Amino acid sequence: MKFLSPKDLLFYVFPQLRVAKFSFDFLKCSYHLYRNRKRMKFPIKLMVASSVSFLFILIIGFVVFPKVIKGKIKAMTAVVPGNDMRQMFTKVPFGLDFKIYLFNVTNPMDVQKGAIPNLVEVGPFCYSEWKEKVEISDNEKDDTMSYKSKDTFLAEHWEGCVSGEEVVTILHPLIVGMINTVSRTKPAMLSLVNKAVNAIYRNPTSIYLTATAREILFDGIVIDCDVKEFAGKAVCSQLQQSPDLKHISDTELGFSLVGPKNATAGKVFKVYRGKRNSRNLGLIIEFDGKKQMETWTTKDCNRFRGTDGTIFRLS
């Protein structure tokens, strides 16, 4: 059995020392060559010169150049005024494909008697989504910007798309949504809501809504708030304050799933511009003036982690 020499043992324990020793030897060798340059023969001089040039190219090519390029790219990605990236960020220069499918319930009355719903997919209903940011303000001091997002949906008639005039039956989003919310947050109010639904929807026979896809998605289904009864009035006055319902007339409101979002500025985002630190590019700091969400039950889930989805930093 062969024993390791003390030096080998040292290298075995600290592998970094090997690199240090190599560098030291290299320096020693260079110095030696430099001292003896007068006595060197031409081929040796040539060899030394080539090695030095090779090393130089290696350093420039693999260390300095990539660093310079990366620095330049990082400077280009910051969303500061005047940058190409800023223009892309504030207005996406093309429409995004946006397709919606609805599920038609073909046996609504049977479901109310306990049958399993029979769902038939209808669609796609096609739109192009144009994303832009409005009411932009920059804050140089902390390298952030604030803006509101505005998405505009335009109907498209691509191949394979259906027109939107199809009549479909879905769970009534407003009735079911209202009852679910109330039973979760204020169950004591359920009987009041029940009376209100009967008043507003004139004693509906089902919790389903039948309308054209276009009405459900964008144009709006009419809620007739011309009611005298107390519960109905109470609920209607709440609905009338909701920004998500369209005011058609004094007593009529329009409800749709995507309509309220169309061409309407949303709530304020505050994000990093990524000029000072490119790793922060686009990261959300605040939304609607809040530093975290209130949707979930744990602090970790409520954290903002990432961008609004229209920009990503270089990894």
Ligand X SMILES: *[C@@H]1O[C@H](CO)[C@@H](O)[C@H](O)[C@H]1NC(C)=O
Binding site for ligand X (CB under 6 A): 104, 106, 122, 127, 152-155, 166-169, 218, 262-263
What is the C-alpha separation between 32 and 40, in angstroms, rounded? 11
CB of 167 to ligand X, least distance (A): 5
Between residues 163 and 183, which has the closer beta carbon with respect to ligand X? Answer: 163
Taking Cα atoms as reference points, which of 77, 86, 87 lies closest to residue 315? 77
Residue 281 Cβ, how far from ligand X at the closest point, in Å?
A: 30
Number of alpha carbons in the 13 Å side-chain half-sphere of residue 204: 21
Tell me how many degrees the CA angle 110-115-119 measures, rounded to the nearest 5: 85
**Please, what is the minimum distance in Å from the beta carbon of residue 169 to ligand X?**
5
- Name which of 79 and 216 has its Cβ closer to ligand X: 216
**Is the separation of the CB atoms in 131 and 151 below 8 Å?**
yes
Which residue lies nearer to ligand X by CB, 198 or 262? 262
How is residue 113 annotated by DSSP? T
Smallest separation (angstroms) from ligand X to the CB of 104: 4
Closest contact distance (angstroms) between CB of 102 and ligand X is 9
Please say which residue, 89 or 153, places its beta carbon nearer to ligand X: 153
Cα dihedral across residues 193, 202, 101, 107: positive or negative: positive
Residue with smaller CB distance to ligand X, 216 or 236: 216
**In contact, 269 and 149? CB cutoff 8 Å:** yes
